[in-house]
C-alpha cells in the first residue's frame, strides 16, 4: 500500500530536515512514500538477545503475512547473516560505497524475509557520516519494492549509530534481561535519547524471563526509576521466556520461530509480532522512510563532532 506523506512524525520535537531531500526528488514537491513501519531494537548492554528478537520478530511477522526487511545495523560487528545461516553476496558497505544498489544487496532469508547484511570486523562504518546517512535514506526511498516492516538490529552500547537508528525509527524497542546490569545500561540509553535528543517514547521488552510475573516485575521497577527521573513514556511490550530452544536454534543457524514454531519463545515472538503490527494499524498512523534521517541526522552528527 502506498500513501502520500508530507509531514514528519510527531515523535520528533524538531522540524523534518529531510523534507528538502524529498522535495528534490519530486517535481511537484510531493512523492508517494511507502507506508513502512520502522522498528529499532536496541539495549545498551550487549548479549541480551537483540539479534534473536529482531530475526524472530521478522520471521513471525512474515508468517503473519507482512513483507519484512531486517537491517543489520551493527555495522562493525554484524551477525544477522550468521544467526540465520545465510551467505550474502554483498553488504551495506557496497551500498554506502556506491558499488551496488540497495535492492541488489538485499539477501533472502527464512519465511520470505529479506536481510540487509552488515560487515563483520570492519570499522569503516561504525560511525556513519551525515553524507552516509543521506545516502542510506536515499537508497531506501528508491527501493522499487519497499517492505511493510523494517526491523533494525542495533549494536550494543550508546554509539552515534545506535542513537541515529533509534531516532529514525517509529518505535524504539529496548531489550532488557533480568540481569541488573542490562537494566542500568538500558536506563543509560533511554536517558541519553530522552534528555539529549528529545525522544519521548520507548517500548520495553523483557528477554530471558523466568515467567510472566518476572517480566512484569522488571518493567515495574524500571518504569519506577524512569518515571521519577526522566520525561518519557515507557510501554511494556511483554516478555520472551528463557528458552533452551532459542540456543538450539542459534546453534543450527536458524530462527527459533522457523525451526521450533511451537516452542514457548516462538509463541511469545508471534504475540510480539501481533503487537508490533497493532501499533501501525491505527488509521491515523503514518509510516514511511521519511523518518530515515530527519532530526536524527543532525542530532547524531553533533555527537560525532563531539
Ligand X SMILES: Nc1ncnc2c1ncn2[C@@H]1O[C@H](COP(=O)(O)OP(=O)(O)OP(=O)(O)O)[C@@H](O)[C@H]1O
| Residue 161 binds Mg ion (CB under 5 A) | no
If one asks whether residue 48 binds ligand X (CB under 6 A), the answer comes out as: yes
Q: How far apart are CA 127 and CA 301, in angstroms?
A: 9
Among 156, 189, 218, 272, binds ligand X (CB under 6 A): 156
Distance CA 142, CA 139 (A): 5
* Residues 264/70, Cβ–Cβ less than 8 Å: no
Task: Work out whether 108 is an interface residue with ligand X (CB under 6 A).
Answer: no
# residues near ligand X by CB under 6 A: 19
Contact at 8 Å (CB) between 202 and 190?
Answer: yes
Judged by CB under 5 A, does residue 51 bind Mg ion?
Answer: yes
Residue 107 or 182: which CB sits closer to ligand X? 182
Which residues from 249-278 bind ligand X, rule CB under 6 A? 250, 265
Shortest distance in whole angstroms from residue 167 CB to Mg ion: 19
* Spatial CA neighbour of 207 closest among 59, 48, 80: 48
CB 217 within 8 A of CB 187: no
42 binds ligand X (CB under 6 A): no
Answer yes or no whether residue 166 interacts with Mg ion by CB under 5 A: no
- 52 is in the binding site of which of ligand X, Mg ion, none (Cβ under 5 to 8 A by kind)? ligand X
Residue listed under C-alpha cell 521466556: 241
Site string for ligand X, 222-251 (x = CB under 6 A): ------------------x-xx--xx--x-
Pick the piece of the chain touching ligand X (CB under 6 A) from 49-57, 103-111, 117-125, 182-190.
Answer: 49-57
CA triplet 194, 195, 200: central angle to 5 degrees? 25
Task: For cell 520495553, name the residue.
Answer: 204
Size, binding site for Mg ion by CB under 5 A: 2
Query: Among residues 132, 71, 133, 75, which one has the least CA distance to residue 106?
Result: 71
Q: Is 85 in the site for ligand X (CB under 6 A)?
A: no
The answer to whether residue 43 forms part of the interface with ligand X (CB under 6 A) is yes
Q: What would the DSSP string read from start to end of 121-187? A: S--TTSS--HHHHHHHHHHHHT-SS--SEEEEEEPSS--HHHHHHHHHSSEEEEEE-SSHHHHHHHH
Q: Which does 156 bind (CB under 5 to 8 A by kind): ligand X, Mg ion, none?
A: ligand X
Q: Is 208 in the site for ligand X (CB under 6 A)?
A: yes
Grid coordinates representing 305 are 563532532
Site residues (vs Mg ion, CB under 5 A): 50-51
**Interface ranges with ligand X (CB under 6 A):** 43, 46-52, 74, 156, 207-208, 240, 242-243, 246-247, 250, 265
Amino acid at each position: 500500500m502506498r500513501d502520500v506523506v508530507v509531514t514528519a512524525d510527531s515523535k520528533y520535537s524538531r522540524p523534518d530536515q529531510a523534507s528538502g531531500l524529498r522535495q528534490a526528488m519530486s517535481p511537484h514537491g510531493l512523492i508517494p512514500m511507502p507506508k513502512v513501519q520502522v522498528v529499532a531494537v536496541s539495549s545498551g548492554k550487549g548479549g541480551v538477545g537483540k539479534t534473536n528478537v529482531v530475526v524472530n520478530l521478522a520471521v513471525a511477522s512474515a508468517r503473519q503475512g507482512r513483507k519484512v526487511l531486517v537491517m543489520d545495523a551493527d555495522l562493525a560487528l554484524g551477525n544477522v547473516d550468521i544467526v540465520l545461516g545465510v551467505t550474502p553476496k554483498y553488504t551495506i558497505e557496497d551500498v554506502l560505497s556506491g558499488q551496488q544498489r540497495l535492492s541488489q544487496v538485499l539477501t533472502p532469508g527464512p519465511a520470505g524475509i529479506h536481510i540487509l547484511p552488515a560487515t563483520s570486523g570492519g570499522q569503516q562504518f561504525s560511525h556513519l557520516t551525515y553524507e552516509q546517512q543521506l545516502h542510506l535514506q536515499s537508497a531506501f526511498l528508491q527501493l522499487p519494492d519497499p517492505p511493510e516492516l523494517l526491523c533494525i538490529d542495533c549494536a550494543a552500547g550508546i554509539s552515534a549509530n545506535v542513537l541515529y537508528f533509534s531516532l529514525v525509527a517509529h518505535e524504539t524497542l529496548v531489550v532488557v534481561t533480568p540481569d541488573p546490569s542490562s537494566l542500568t545500561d538500558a536506563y543509560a540509553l533511554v536517558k541519553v535519547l530522552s534528555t539529549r535528543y528529545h525522544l519521548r517514547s520507548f517500548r520495553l521488552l523483557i528477554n530471558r524471563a523466568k515467567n510472566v510475573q518476572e517480566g512484569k516485575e522488571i518493567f515495574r521497577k524500571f518504569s519506577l526509576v524512569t518515571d521519577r527521573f526522566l520525561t518519557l513514556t515507557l510501554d511494556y511490550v511483554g516478555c520472551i521466556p528463557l528458552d533452551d530452544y532459542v540456543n538450539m536454534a542459534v546453534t543450527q543457524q536458524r530462527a527459533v520461530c522457523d525451526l521450533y514454531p511451537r516452542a514457548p519463545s516462538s509463541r511469545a515472538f508471534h504475540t510480539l509480532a501481533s503487537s508490533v503490527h497493532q501499533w501501525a494499524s491505527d488509521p491515523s498512523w503514518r509510516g514511511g522512510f521519511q523518518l530515515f534521517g530527519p532530526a536524527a541526522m543532525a542530532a547524531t552528527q553533533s555527537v560525532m563532532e563531539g
